[in-house]
């Protein structure tokens, strides 16, 4: 009789243990798993956080979802008494806007370089950058683009930069800074999430032409493969240089830099080879001087791919 009782007791215990396992599994799916996913999502979001500039004071912050944004990607032009960017895009996305003030003795370029360093560590590409008088009218940026009169200052004491981290959606950073006085500097930082396309051939071409308005700098668009220029991927750069007017070509000097090798001799050989190919690829009616200079000049960013630098001889 006792054996039969023990046997029935074991049979009763078995379904209870099965039910317990089922409930534990359900609890895991309902409560624990969502927490794990939220922690993972939080960790991903943290990688996109931009560190604030030291001792800067946040004056105002706004968030807009699915809104239109006017993005300027070039120098300014004035037609029919209206100032605008030579290259602009009207994109749609989520926009976080922060307006900051800093009272300590800092310069505009320090603000731009501080944030650019963070963005480039995350793989950002610089879409456009200007400083001082090259940015044009401060009134245009303050009132026309950012709708904030406090951002209006001297044209010589301003800076603007656009950077993008490609993805789906793209992450776009727009920073404008202006020095109002020795002890007062304001800057506006927009962080945009948008799937809209930012560039096309016309934008890339205009950016090259805009860069050549300066006395010296770096040119985007040089693409290489297996130690040679990829002329198909570099077509915008090559065709733009070919089609420059002769006056510009007479003043223009190009320098190729290579950085990928561990010794200077290999970097010089790489830059010399690319310079020879580039000289032939952009020849049209006039030969633009192109030199290879190894790694004797620091790269413009952290990317060690071959880079193209330019210098314009002063006008006589």
**Alpha-carbon distance values, 194 to 43, 93, 98, 109, 197 (Å):** 21, 4, 18, 27, 8
pLDDT tens-digit readout, 257-273: 999 999 999 999 999 99
- Write down the pLDDT at residue 205: 82
Q: What is the mean pLDDT of residues 86-91?
A: 85
pLDDT at 132 over 70: yes
Contact assessment for residue 76 and residue 85, using Cβ atoms and an 8 Å cutoff: yes
What is the CATH topology of the domain spanning 57-194? Protein Transport Mog1p; Chain A (3.40.1000)
Tokens coding 18 = 């099965």
Using the predicted structure, report yes or no on whether residue 22 has a pLDDT greater than 90: no
Per-residue DSSP letter, 24: H
pLDDT at 143 (0 to 100) = 94
- pLDDT, position 20: 58
Write the Ramachandran bin of 10: left for phi over 0, alpha for psi from -120 to 50, otherwise beta.
alpha
Q: What is the pLDDT of residue 24?
A: 53
How far apart, in whole angstroms, are the C-alpha atoms of residue 173 and residue 125? 10
pLDDT tens digits along 43-55: 334 455 788 999 8
Q: Residue 237's pLDDT is what?
A: 94
Instruction: List the single range of 111-115, 123-127, 226-230 with lowest mean pLDDT.
Output: 123-127
Phi, then psi, of 193 in degrees rounded to 5: -115, 115
| Rounded-to-integer distance, Cα 291 and Cα 295, Å | 12
What pLDDT is recorded for position 3?
Answer: 45
Tell me: pLDDT of 75 over 60.
yes
Residue 233 has pLDDT above 70, yes or no: yes
Structural fold of domain 211-312: 60s Ribosomal Protein L30; Chain: A; (3.30.1330)
- Does residue 30 have a pLDDT over 80? no
pLDDT of residue 76: 82
Whole-number pLDDT of residue 65: 92
Length of the chain: 316
pLDDT given for residue 200 in this prediction: 67
pLDDT of 183: 76
pLDDT at 214: 81
**Percentage of the chain modeled with pLDDT above 70:** 84
Nearest residue to 231 via CA among 268, 277, 169, 295: 277
In the beta sheet, which residues pair with residue 257?
307
Segment 177-222, tens digit of pLDDT = 999 877 789 999 999 999 887 766 777 787 788 788 788 889 989 9
pLDDT for 31 equals 52
Nearest residue to 236 (alpha-carbon basis) of 222, 217, 248:
222
For residue 265 the two structure tokens come to: 């001799």
pLDDT of residue 34 exceeding 50: no
pLDDT for position 17: 59
What are the two backbone dihedrals, phi and then psi, of residue 148, each rounded to the nearest 5 degrees? -145, 105
117 neighbors 124 (Cβ within 8 angstroms): no
b vs e for 163-181, b when ≥16 Cβ sit within 10 Å of the residue's Cβ?
Answer: bbbeeeebbbbbbbbbbbe
> Measured between alpha carbons, how far is 141 from 153 in angstroms, rounded to an integer?
10
> How sure is the predictor about 63, in pLDDT bands with cuts at 50, 70 and 90?
very high
The confidence band for 25, taking pLDDT boundaries of 50, 70 and 90, is low
Residue 6 confidence (pLDDT) above 50:
no
Weakest mean pLDDT among 115-129, 152-166, 228-242: 115-129
User: CA separation (Å) from 240 to 55, 74, 221, 254, 315?
Assistant: 44, 16, 10, 14, 21
Q: Extract the tokens encoding 126.
A: 């610089």
Helix (H) or strand (E) holding 78: strand 76-79
Mean pLDDT of the 30-44 span: 42
């Amino acid at each position: 009789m006792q054996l039969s009782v023990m046997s029935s007791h074991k049979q009763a215990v078995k379904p209870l243990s099965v039910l317990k396992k089922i409930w534990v599994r359900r609890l895991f799916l309902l409560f624990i798993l969502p927490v794990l996913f939220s922690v993972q999502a939080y960790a991903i979001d943290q990688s996109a956080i931009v560190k604030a500039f030291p001792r800067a004071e946040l004056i105002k912050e706004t968030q807009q979802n699915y809104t239109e944004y006017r993005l300027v990607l070039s120098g300014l032009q004035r037609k029919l008494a209206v100032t605008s960017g030579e290259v602009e895009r009207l994109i749609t996305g989520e926009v976080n806007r922060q307006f900051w003030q800093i009272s300590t003795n800092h310069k505009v370029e320090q603000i731009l370089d501080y944030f650019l360093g963070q963005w480039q560590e995350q793989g950002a590409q610089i879409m456009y950058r200007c400083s001082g008088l090259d940015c044009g009218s401060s009134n245009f940026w303050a009132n026309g683009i950012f709708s904030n009169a406090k951002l209006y200052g001297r044209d010589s004491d301003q800076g603007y930069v656009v950077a993008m981290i490609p993805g789906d959606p793209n992450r776009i950073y727009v920073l404008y800074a202006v020095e109002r006085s020795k002890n007062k500097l304001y800057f506006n930082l927009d962080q945009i999430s948008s799937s809209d396309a930012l560039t096309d051939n016309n934008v890339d071409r205009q950016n090259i032409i805009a860069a050549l308005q300066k006395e010296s700098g770096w040119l985007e668009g040089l693409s290489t493969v297996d130690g040679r220029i990829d002329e198909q991927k570099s077509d915008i750069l090559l065709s733009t240089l070919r089609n420059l007017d002769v006056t510009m070509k007479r003043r223009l000097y190009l320098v190729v830099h290579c950085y990928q090798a561990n010794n200077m001799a290999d970097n010089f050989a790489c830059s010399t080879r690319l310079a020879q190919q580039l000289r032939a690829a952009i020849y049209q009616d006039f030969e633009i001087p192109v030199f290879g200079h190894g790694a004797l000049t620091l790269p413009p960013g952290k990317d060690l791919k071959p880079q193209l630098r330019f210098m314009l001889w002063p006008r006589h």
